[in-house]
């Protein structure tokens, strides 16, 4: 089993190296557009080579494929394409409000500060006029 496991790990490494070569020759826009797929491939490689404890039949099955990394990454990508779980992340953002302490906030400038930064002459403050007496 150790020989087959090593064969699988070597193939996964070679698959990742082939992907890296393709990515290195790609333009920036293609890389940005393919970032989800790239992440799925890298996550699959990490999980398979660092975390997963393989059963003998799993090794045999994955060795049937020229690119077992692609097979697993595609399945992982299918699972992550469902954005319905996104609502759970938003619930945490809104309920816990811990982002207020963990992320830089954009301060809303005062009206006076906005006027100072506005192009053109800054209006002079006006004196308050005395209230007009009501005519009887």
pTM score, two decimals?
Answer: 0.66
| Block residue for tokens 């070569």 | 21
Where is average pLDDT lowest: 20-24, 83-87, 99-103, 115-119?
Answer: 99-103
Query: Tens digit of pLDDT for each residue in 116-128?
Result: 777 766 556 666 6
DSSP summary character for residue 64: T
Q: Flag whether pLDDT at 103 surpasses 80.
A: no
Q: How far is CA 39 from CA 42, 61, 97, 126, 131, in A?
A: 5, 23, 28, 59, 68
- pLDDT at position 30, please? 96
Q: Flag whether pLDDT at 111 surpasses 90.
A: no
Query: Tens digit of pLDDT for each residue in 49-73?
Result: 999 999 999 999 999 999 999 999 9
Q: Flag whether pLDDT at 34 surpasses 80.
A: yes
| Of the candidates 59, 61, 72, the residue with the CA atom closest to the CA atom of residue 7 | 59
Q: Flag whether pLDDT at 106 surpasses 80.
A: no
């Amino acid at each position: 089993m150790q020989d087959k496991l090593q064969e699988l790990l070597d193939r996964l490494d070679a698959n990742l190296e082939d992907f890296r070569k393709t990515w290195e020759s790609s333009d920036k826009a293609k890389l940005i557009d393919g970032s989800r797929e790239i992440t799925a491939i890298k996550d699959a490689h990490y999980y398979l080579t660092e975390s997963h404890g393989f059963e003998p039949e799993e090794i045999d099955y994955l060795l049937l494929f020229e690119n077992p990394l692609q097979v697993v990454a595609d399945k992982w990508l299918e699972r992550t394409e469902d954005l319905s779980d996104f609502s759970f992340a938003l619930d945490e953002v809104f309920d816990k409000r811990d982002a207020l302490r963990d992320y830089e906030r954009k301060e809303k400038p005062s009206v006076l500060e906005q006027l100072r930064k506005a192009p053109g002459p800054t209006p002079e403050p006006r004196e308050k006029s005395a209230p007009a007496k009501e005519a009887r």
